[in-house]
């Protein structure tokens, strides 16, 4: 997936969360800045989340090594704070799945 498409899904996710009554903001430069550990910051149901947004064309999303490493950095940051880590996966033409990955990271996410 190209960087340009990632921005599209990050914006789509933030818009969806806001329409559902939550507050969500996209982190500018999240794909290129070393300091950025997430794509969005979400405030939902009295909790705060750092969110990484991914997309897939298939019915299964595999958390491969490079993605796992990226998510582990985000989980290290939330471990030092009173916030949570979330992975939001867009299954193209189907919808979104959100997983709280603060305590446990999945290997596979199925639609």
CA dist., res. 8 & res. 34, Å (int): 20
- For 1-49, the pLDDT digits (tens) are 333 468 999 999 999 999 999 999 999 876 665 678 999 999 999 999 9
> Minimal CA–CA distance to 57: which of 31, 90, 87?
90
How many residues belong to the chain? 111
pTM for the complete prediction? 0.90
Per-residue model confidence (pLDDT) at position 28 = 81
- For 66-101, the pLDDT digits (tens) are 999 999 999 999 999 999 999 999 999 999 999 999
Exposure string over 14-24, b if 16+ CB within 10 A, otherwise e:
beebeeeeeeb
**Tokens encoding 1:** 């997936």
Q: Do 3 and 39 form a contact (C-beta atoms < 8 A)?
A: no
The yes or no reply on domain 3-110 and CATH 3.30.1490.70 is: no
- Name the residue ranges covered by the structural domains of the chain: 3-110
**Tokens encoding 10:** 């990050």
Exposure string over 60-93, b if 16+ CB within 10 A, otherwise e:
ebebeeeeeeebeebbeebeeeebbbbbbbbbee
């Amino acid at each position: 997936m190209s960087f340009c498409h990632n921005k599209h899904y990050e914006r789509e996710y933030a818009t969806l969360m806001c329409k559902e009554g939550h507050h969500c903001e996209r982190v500018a430069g999240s794909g290129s800045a070393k300091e950025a550990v997430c794509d969005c910051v979400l405030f939902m149901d009295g909790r705060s989340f750092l969110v990484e947004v991914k997309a897939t064309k298939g019915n299964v999303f595999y958390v491969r090594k490079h993605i796992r490493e990226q998510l582990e950095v985000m989980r290290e940051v939330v471990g030092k704070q009173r916030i949570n880590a979330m992975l939001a996966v867009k299954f193209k033409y189907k919808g979104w799945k959100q997983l709280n990955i603060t305590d446990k990271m999945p290997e596979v996410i199925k639609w």
